[in-house]
Structure 1
Amino acid sequence: MESKRQQKMASLLQQELASVLQRDLPHLFGGGLAPGISLVRVTPDLGQARVYLSLLIGADANERLEIIRENGKAIRQALAKRIRQTARVVPELIFFHDDSAAYAAHMDQVLGTLDIPPAPKDEEKDDEKPARPRLFNPKDDE
């Protein structure tokens, strides 16, 4: 379980990294869409941050991840300019591809192919079902 300090740092990094990638360094992506930051996990000593990027599904996702990893130093420097008043040390950034969207699409496809038979209909009518037990006797109230 993460401490409050780790959670605060992770939240700060997530917000500021998104701004850095979209505003400060959009040229890294050749005018394309900057990746989203889906999750940031920080080590207890705040020395490393695992950044999970939500890249577009497709063949160029690995290429875009490599571009980000190659420019990790520039990203970290731009991040340091943004959080220098808030954080003492900027953690080392380790980037990963978050494939949860692809997994969700795969699971949706699998669930769509299942042949689930309809539930059997109840043969009892609503009138024949036993009544719920009473917590008190209505005759006692009189």
Structure 2
Amino acid sequence: METTRQSKVSRLLLKDLSEIFQMESRNLFGGKMISVTTVRISPDLALAKVYLSIFPSNATEETLKTIKINTKNIRRILGNKVGKQLRIVPELAFFVDDSLDYIENISNLLS
């Protein structure tokens, strides 16, 4: 069960990370469309699991690798945005959210 504080911090991180990926996608990721679908924060607010949807989906692994290389830079930018609201900027762990691909696969199987 997620506490009120966890859900507030998750929403804050989701909003700010979405803005960061929107602004930095052209420079860092070659113009790929990256959207943050979910952020799950640990109970001690020290680790945030960020789930990303990447388009085009044929370059997902390569883009995720680039994101993981730039994690420190993304965390620094995030710290500048949320530094007044959070005492500690959480460590970021990025994962691919493949739920849209799963839904598409199920609909193809059903039709």
List runs of 5+ in structure 2 lacking aligned partners: none
Which structure has more RCO (C-alpha within 8 Å, separation ≥ 6)? 2
List runs of 5+ in structure 1 lacking aligned partners: 113-142
**Corresponding residue of 2:21:** 21
Deviation, structure 1 residue 38: 0.3
What code does the residue aligned with 2:23 have?
Answer: R
Q: Which 4+ runs in 1 deviate beyond 3 A?
A: none
Residues in 2 aligned to 1:25 and 1:105: alpha-carbon distance in whole angstroms: 25
**Corresponding residue of 2:47:** 48
Deviation, structure 1 residue 41: 0.1
Q: Which has the higher strand share?
A: 2
Q: Deviations over 1:20-60 (max 9, x none)?
A: 11125631112x13410000000000000000001125331
- Asked which structure has the greater CA Rg, the reply is 1
Q: Which has the higher helix share?
A: 2
Provide the aligned C-alpha RMSD in A: 1.2
TM-score (norm 2): 0.95
TM-score (norm 1): 0.75
Equivalent pairs counted in the alignment come to 111
Residues in 1 aligned to 2:103 and 2:58: alpha-carbon distance in whole angstroms: 18
Identity among equivalent pairs (%): 39
**Corresponding residue of 2:61:** 62
Deviation, structure 1 residue 105: 0.3
Task: Mark the CA change 1:99 to 1:70 in structure 2 (over 3 Å): closer, same or farther.
Answer: same
